[in-house]
Amino acid sequence: MFKHEVGALILRITLGVLFFLHGLDKFQGGIENTVGWFDSIGIPGFMAYVVAIIELVGGLALIIGFGTKIISALIALVMIGAMIKVKFAVGIFGNGQMAGYELDLAFLAMAVYLLINGSKLFSVHHFIFSKEEDVKISK
């Protein structure tokens, strides 16, 4: 069982760092650029803020292990949206101008794994709530 928790920790930290960096890049690179791009592909511009916040705050939450299942569900939705709205048209490996959806699919798989299984090892959420959960399980 411990090796499964180590694996989940590796997935959680990796996904968290990558999404935190993606969110940070959106804000540092000028969120207005992302807003404009969203508008140009038919997605309401305000969704750029929603996605960037999910990536930034959600990534940080995954790194520290807080709300892993909820954050993973949000990331899965972002990845599904990205694949359907943008990436499917260029194929799994891309078209030379835009990357395909292979990385998005890997992120989706990681998020779904964490959504289903969670990640308790070195998790702030588990540290805070484990006593209550242990009592509920034993009753």
Domain count for the chain, please give it: 1
Please state, in angstroms and rounded to a whole number, the distance separating the CA atoms of residues 84 and 101: 9
The domain containing residue 119 runs over which residues?
Answer: 2-138
Q: Give tens-digit pLDDT for 4-41.
A: 999 999 999 999 999 999 999 999 999 999 999 999 99
Please state, in angstroms and rounded to a whole number, the distance separating the CA atoms of residues 86 and 74: 18
> 75 near 59, Cβ under 8 Å?
no
Q: Give tens-digit pLDDT for 49-104.
A: 999 999 999 999 999 999 999 999 999 999 999 999 999 999 999 999 999 999 99
Contacting residues for 24 by C-beta, under 8 A, at least 6 apart: 56
